[in-house]
Amino acid sequence: PNALVWFRNDLRLADQPALRAALDEGYEPICIYIHAPDEEGAWAPGAASNAWRHRSLKALDGALRSRGSRLRLFFGPSLQTLQTLLMACDAEAVFWNRRYEPAIEKRDAEIKKKLRGQGARAESYNGGLLFEPWSLSTQQNGPYRVFTPFWRAALAAWRLPAAWDAPKRIEDVAEGPDGVALDALHLAPTRDWDADFWERWTPGEASAHEALEIFVEGALRGYREQRDRPDRVGTSRLSPHLHFGEIAPWRVAAELEALRTASAAADIDAYLRELGWREFAHHLLHHFPATAERNLDARFDKFEWARRHPAQIEAWRRGGTGVPIVDAGMRELWHTGWMHNRVRMIAASYLCKHLRQHWLEGARWFWDTLVDADLANNTLGWQWVAGTGADASPYFRVFNPATQAEKFDPEGDYIARWVPELKALPVPARFAPWTQPGLAAKLAPDYPPQPIVDLAEGRDRALAAYRAMR
Ligand code: FAD
C-alpha cells in the first residue's frame, strides 16, 4: 500500500520518525511538501527563511532522487491537498512530524480529525524536540515558566532515541500527480539580496551534519568560555539547520555525549543547556500560545512603550544607530541572515530599552531577516530581553552596549568587520566613538558622531517608564 509522507520542518532522511514509521509499517512512501504560508497565522515565513527553504527543499529532493525517489511539491490548502492526493495516489495513510507553532498545531489537529473521519490513517510523530512540550510538567502538574527547574526535570528524564540512518533506497511510486516545480513556489528571492548568505551557509541535511562535525572538532572545545564572543567562531551555527529539521536535536546531543570525558564535560553540558533553551522555548509557546504576540508577564500590558518611531526603527534595522556593536550586529544580520547570540541580546536591548520601541517591532524584523527565524526561539529571545517574558531578565536590567562590546569584542574585531567606517579608530574609542569626538572626527569621519539615543538618557527614560508601570 501507498502512504504520503508529508515533509514540513523536518527536511532530512536520517532520524526521520514519519518516514521510518511509513517504511516500518510496510508502506511505499510518497514524499510530499505543501506550500501554504497563509496557514501560519500572523507568522508566515519571512524572506530569509524562504530563501533557505528553497535550497533545503532542493537538497532534500536531490537526496531522495539519489535513492530512487523524489519530493513532490504542491500548493495548499493543506487539508484539501492531502485529501486529493490520498485519492490520486491510491494512498491510505499520511505520516508527518509535529510542529508546535500555535496556528500549525490547531491546523494539524483539524486535519488529523478530518482525515480520520474519512477513513484514512493520519499519524504524527516527534521529529524535532528532545522533550515534547507536554512531556515535562511541574509538581503541580502545570507548565514550567522558569528555565532552571525545567532543565533539571529534562536532565532527570534524559533519554536519547537511537540513531536511525537514512534508507539506502526508497522506491518511487508511479501513482499520483508530479506536483509543481520548485521555482513555482517563489521561495527564492527575485533580486539576489541573499547572495552573501551562501558564502556562509549551505542548506540541507548533508551540510547540517558537516556543520556538526566542524563544531565538534573545533569550537566545542572551549565552547563554555567562547560562546559569548562574536569576534570568534565560538558556537555551532546549527540554528537554521535545527529549525528546518535538517538534523535531529537528539543526533546532535548524542554526538556530543559520545565525546564526554572529564575535561570535555563542562563544554558539553554548556552546549546541551543551549539546546535546552530551544526545548524550553517550545514548551512555553505550546503552553502559552498567545505569547507570540502578547507579554507572557501580563503586568507589562500596562507598560508605556514610546510611540512608534519609524526613523529610529529604520536606523536600527540598517545598522545606523551610531552605537557600534548594535550596528555591527544589525549589519551581520542583513548580510548573512544570522547574528551572534550575545549581539542579538545587545541589539534587541537597545531597541526595547534605549529606544523604548515595542519588542514585537524587533521580533518582526528578525522574523523576516533571520535564516533561523523560529517562532518559539524568537519569541522567547525577545520577551527575555524586553523583560516581559518567563524569567531572569527584569526590565530594569539594561545592557550598556559600549561596556558589552568592550567585554565580548575586546579587540574590536567584530565591530571593524561589520562597520568598516570604524576600522581606523583604535579601541576603546571604537566601542563608543562619541567619548572621543576629536579622534572620531579624524579617524572615523563617515560614522555618526552621536548615537540616535544617548546611552545614559535612554537608560534613564527606560527605568522611569518601568517605575511608572509599577
Ligand atoms: P549555539 O550556541 O551553537 O547553540 C546551539 C543551539 O541551541 C542553537 O542552534 C539553537 O537551536 C539553540 N539555542 C542556543 N541559544 C538559544 C536561545 N537563547 N534560545 C533558544 N535556543 C537557543 N534562535 C533561533 O533559532 N531562532 C530565532 O528566531 C532566534 N531569535 C532570537 C532573538 C533574540 C532577541 C535572541 C536574544 C535570541 C534569539 N535566538 C533565536 C537564540 C540564539 O540567539 C540562537 O539560537 C543562536 O544564536 C544560534 O546560533 P548557534 O546555532 O551558533 O548557537
Task: For residue 450, give the CATH number of its domain.
Answer: 1.10.579.10
Half-sphere exposure of 1 (CA within 13 A, CB side): 15
Q: Are 115 and 82 in contact (CB under 8 A)?
A: yes
CATH code of residue 283: 1.25.40.80
349 is in an annotated binding site: no
State in Å: Cα 200 to ligand 1 middle. 17
CA 452 to chain centre: 29
| Shared domain check, 99 and 34 | yes
**ipTM passes above 0.95:** yes
In DSSP terms, which residues pair with 34 in a beta bridge?
74
Kindly state the average pLDDT of the residues 118-133: 98
Domain assignment present for 377:
yes
| Shared domain check, 115 and 134 | no
Q: Are 287 and 412 in contact (CB under 8 A)?
A: no
pTM score over 0.90: yes
Q: What pLDDT does 392 receive?
A: 58
Give the domain extent around 68: 2-127
Residue with more model confidence, 395 or 398: 398
Of the three residues 105, 127, 149, the one that is the final residue of a domain is 127
* Closest atom of ligand 1 to CA, residue 339: 47
Domain assignment present for 171:
no
**Rounded-to-integer distance, Cα 369 and Cα 367, Å:** 6
| Shared domain check, 139 and 123 | no
State the residue for C-alpha cell 534613564.
460
**How large is the greatest C-alpha to C-alpha distance in the chain, in angstroms?**
77
Exactly one of 92, 123, 164, 341 is catalytic; which is it? Answer: 341
CATH code of residue 58: 3.40.50.620
Query: Measuring from each residue's beta carbon to the nearest atom of ligand 1, which residues come in under 6 Å?
Result: 227, 235-239, 242-243, 274-275, 277-278, 281, 341, 344-345, 348, 366, 370, 372-374, 377-378, 380-382, 385
* Closest atom of ligand 1 to CA, residue 370: 28
Domain assignment present for 193:
no
- Which amino acid does the sequence have at 274? E
Q: How confident is the model at residue 299 (pLDDT cuts 50, 70, 90)?
A: confident
For CA atoms 12, 18, 23, 28, the dihedral sign is: negative
- Which amino acid does the sequence have at 147? F
**Residue nearest atom 33 of ligand 1, based on CA coordinates:** 381
Q: Establish whether 305 is a catalytic residue.
A: yes
| Shared domain check, 458 and 439 | yes
State the residue for C-alpha cell 519571512.
46
Q: Establish whether 341 is a catalytic residue.
A: yes
| pLDDT surpassing 90 at residue 59 | yes
* Closest atom of ligand 1 to CA, residue 223: 2
Reduced to 3 states (helix: H, G, I; strand: E, B; else coil), residue 340 is coil
For residue 276, the tally of other CB atoms under 10 A from its CB is 21
Domain assignment present for 9:
yes
Half-sphere exposure of 283 (CA within 13 A, CB side): 25
238 is in an annotated binding site: yes
| Shared domain check, 137 and 122 | no
Task: List all residues 6 or more positions away from 225 whose beta carbon is below 8 Å from its beta carbon.
Answer: none
State in Å: Cα 455 to ligand 1 middle. 26
pLDDT digits (tens, 9 = 90+) for 350-375: 999 999 999 999 999 999 999 999 99
**Residue nearest atom 4 of ligand 1, based on CA coordinates:** 274
| Shared domain check, 451 and 436 | yes
Total structural domains in the chain? 3
pLDDT digits (tens, 9 = 90+) for 422-437: 999 999 999 999 999 9
| Shared domain check, 277 and 142 | yes
**Rounded-to-integer distance, Cα 437 and Cα 372, Å:** 38
Q: Give which of 1, 4, 33 is closest to 18, Cα–Cα.
A: 4
As a whole number, the mean pLDDT across the chain is 96
CA distances from 429 to 67, 444, 449 (A): 57, 10, 12
**Rounded-to-integer distance, Cα 372 and Cα 338, Å:** 7
Reduced to 3 states (helix: H, G, I; strand: E, B; else coil), residue 4 is strand
